[in-house]
Structure formats: structure tokens, C-alpha cells
Amino acid sequence: MEIQTVGVVGLGNMGLGIAATLARAGFVVLGTDISVARRVPAEAAGVRFHEALTEVLRGADCLVFSLPYARDVEAVVTAPGGLLDRRDRKVVVIDTSTSDPGTSRRLAARLSEAGHGLLDAPVSGGPSGAADGTLTMMIGGADEDLAAAHPVVEAMSAKAIHVGPSGAGNIAKLVNNMLVAAHLVTTGEAMRLSEAAGLPAEAVLKVVNAATGRSAISEAMYPRWVLPGSFDSGFSAGLMRKDVGLAADLARDTGARLPLSAEVARIWAETRGSIADADDFTRMADYRTERKY
């Protein structure tokens, strides 16, 4: 079935950029957010803002969720008078939130029973990638649901990797973010060591980024947000703590022994006093400030 109207639920840093991208791609975009203040930037981006969630859930041919927590995703999927009650057409939900695989699988089953589909499709690329339509998406779900939602996925992303069935996208995202969380800690410590030994961080980064120690932290985040001290990537430390916690929960549930990752999770949890949840997550890599953890 052709997709003409896309509903975006959650118009925060990521969701607003996604909605604007879809509007530029020619879709009619319906948007909603718990903050009515998002109406102004949404409408400026060509999005038809609705205060009532059900108007978006019942009016869209395809839905994109950009929400903070798994409980928020579940609340939207099961909203009374919403998606589970629709029988006019099949609707595929593209859930870009980082959630837990178990919740994704359970909600996918409920939606399937109602004749709909769910792709757990967390993203990488930040607010700039959302606004430019250059996100990387890691997708879990059925082949037929991905095929149905392909035009929307294509408009949102530069890379869309179908990694497996329901839940697989969130597994991949949690693995990725566990590495990011660790790299932020280790890169910050490495730069602190270089500075302590008399070699400026700017100088040693040239070597690291030309050698095997490089990562997205050293190559992209350091020059853009850490070295200038702007710390404004648009992704909060609180959300990274949430993702690290979900990865730790997954390790516990699967019986995987991850001692270094457990230490990283402890560091992120215990630095709340110096890096607040509302702070940008790149502050963890600030070599200028020695953290006590």
C-alpha cells in the first residue's frame, strides 16, 4: 500500500529533524509531542502538528516513533482508540527509539495480531543526521514490513542495515552504544595521559587518528565538540546512561560476563555528580577535567 502520510510521534532533537526530512521528501507529515511548544518549530518545518496523539495514530499511513524510553513506546502503541483499533490498512511503525529487545518483540507481536508491523530501528548520526536524512539505521523486524516501509526508511537514512528479526535492531544499538560509552571514557583518559606527559591533546590526536587507536570519538566528536569545549552534540548524558543500563540488563539476562563493560557502566552511573543527566554526553571525554570514579 502506498505511503503518502507519515506520522511522527516525539518531536525532540531527533524527531523534529526526522519529521522535517520527511516533509522535504514529499510526504505529508503529521507530528505530535507532549510539549505543545514544539508546534512552532514543527509547523515551520512543514509538519502538521496535532496535540491529540490519536489523530496522528489514526491518520498516518506509516508511523515513526522518536521517544526516550521503552515505556513511552509501549504507551503510544497501546493508546486507547489508537493504532491497535485501526483496521483500515496495515500500518508499519518505525521505532527509532533505543529500547530493550524484549519490549520490541512483545509489541511487534501485539501489532501483528492487529494487522500492523513494527520495525525496531534505532539510529546513529545525531540531530544533524536526522535533519539531513543521513542517519544510519539498524533494523530488526520482518522482511515484508521493511519492504512496506522502504520509502520512509530511504528518506530518513544514508545507511539502513537489516540485522535480523524483531529485537535485533535494539541489540545492535545497545552493542554500539556500549562501545561508544567505553570509548568516551578511554579516549578522555588517553588525552589526559598525553597532556600530563607534556604532549597536547591536539597533537596526539593527529597520531591516534592516523593509527589504530582511532574511533568516532577521536575522529569526529573530539574536533567538533570536545576540543572547542562546546559540548553540544544534542545527545544527553542521561540518555547514554539509559542505554548503558539497557546493555547491562541485556548482559545479565543473557548470562554474558562483561567485566570491562560492567566497569564502564559503573563509571557512567557514578559520575552523575560531575556530569548531570541534562549535560551533553561528550563531556565524559573531557580530558581537562579529572573525574572521580
The kind and range of the H/E element at 274 are: none
| Cα angle for residues 145, 149, 153 (degrees, 5° grid) | 125
Q: How many CB atoms lie within 10 A of CB 110?
A: 15
Catalytic status, residue 292 = no
d(CA 164, CA 249): 20
What cell was used for 57?
495514530
From the list 90, 159, 173, 242, the catalytic residue is 173
CB contact at 8 A, 158 and 134: yes
What cell was used for 201?
591533546
CB contact at 8 A, 168 and 120: yes
Report in angstroms the alpha-carbon separations of 204 from 114, 195, 286.
56, 9, 15
Nearest C-alpha neighbor of 275 from the set 249, 255, 293? 293
Query: Which residues are designated catalytic?
Result: 173
